[in-house]
Structure formats: C-alpha cells, structure tokens
C-alpha cells in the first residue's frame, strides 16, 4: 500500500514537471507543439494501459486465490487438504498413498473424513464442492 502511494506521488510530480517543461519549450519555440502533444498522448495511453492491467490483475488474483480461512472453518487438517488436492488431480487412493508415502488405508481414512467435512457423498462431488468454496485451484 505504501509502495502504491509512493509510486502515485512520484508519477504526479513527474507529470507536473512535464507540464512545465512542455509549456516553456513551446513558448520558447524550441519544440514543435505537435511533438509535445504526441509525447503526452503516448505517455498517458501507456499509463492507462498499465493501471488498467494492474487493477484487472488484482481482481483476477482475488477470484482465483484459495480461501485459506474456509479450509480452517471446515476443520480440514493439513494432511486432509493435501489428499483433497490429489483427489482433484484425478489420482486413485493407491496412487495418492504412493505419492505421500503412506498406506492406502490411511488415505481411505483421510478421504472418509474429507467427505464428511465437505458434506459430499463421493470424491467427484467433493471436487465440485471444493471448487465452489474456492478451496482448490481451477
């Protein structure tokens, strides 16, 4: 936030300087007015694009970012969340077990708990619910 304010302030100062510079350079006849106007136009066009990109980027981030708070609210443990992510990527219990170096029965226990906590009947439904709650990406 401080960074934003600093950048904004620097930008305003730079623009005011530019105003003065362009004014005097035109009045003294050292620069053609078309060139000055063209430069200013280009500058503000670029500024508009950059600011717009930043704003949209921020919106996009907040809409795809995972809701960490919701995970806590649901009471999902760290390990359970890991398993949930692997389920969403399409792995079987056995594959998840191998990836996380535990037994398949452990994964089954985790999956059962995940289904209860997400109020889902199946793993496919759990994926859907997790997506809606913005708990997992996509």
Partner DNA sequence: ATACAATTCATACTTTAGTATGAGTGCTAA
Partner DNA sequence: TTAGCACTCATACTAAAGTATGAATTGTAT
Which residues make up the interface to its own copies (CB under 8 A)?
A: 15, 19, 22-23, 26, 33-34, 36-37, 40-49, 51-53, 56, 87-92, 120-129, 131, 138
CB closer to its own copies, 76 vs 130:
130
Give min distance, CB of 6 to its own copies, in A: 20
Question: 């009471």: which residue's tokens?
Answer: 75
Gap between the Cα atoms of 37 and 97, Å rounded: 66
| Closest by Cα among 36, 39, 16 to 26 | 36
Gap between the Cα atoms of 120 and 24, Å rounded: 71
- Which listed option, its own copies, DNA, none, makes contact with residue 12 (CB within 5 to 8 Å by class)? none
- Which listed option, its own copies, DNA, none, makes contact with residue 70 (CB within 5 to 8 Å by class)? none
- Measure the CA dihedral 57/63/65/68, to 10°: 140
- Which listed option, its own copies, DNA, none, makes contact with residue 34 (CB within 5 to 8 Å by class)? its own copies
Residues 86, 87, 91: CA angle, nearest 5 degrees: 80
Residues at the site binding DNA, with contacts judged by CB under 7 A: 75, 77-80, 92-94, 100, 102-103, 105-106, 108-112, 115-116, 121-124
């Amino acid at each position: 936030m401080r960074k934003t304010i600093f950048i904004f302030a620097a930008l305003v100062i730079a623009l005011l300087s530019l105003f003065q510079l362009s004014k005097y350079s035109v009045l003294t006849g050292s620069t053609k007015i078309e060139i000055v106007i063209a430069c200013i136009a280009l500058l503000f066009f670029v500024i508009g694009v950059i600011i717009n990109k930043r704003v949209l980027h921020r919106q996009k981030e907040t809409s795809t970012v995972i809701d960490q708070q919701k995970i806590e609210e649901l009471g999902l443990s760290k390990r359970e969340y890991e398993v949930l992510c692997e389920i969403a990527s399409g792995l079987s219990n056995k594959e998840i077990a191998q990836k996380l170096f535990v037994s398949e029965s452990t994964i089954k226990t985790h999956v059962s708990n995940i289904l209860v906590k997400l109020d889902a009947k199946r793993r496919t439904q759990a994926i859907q619910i997790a997506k809606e709650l913005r708990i997992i990406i996509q």
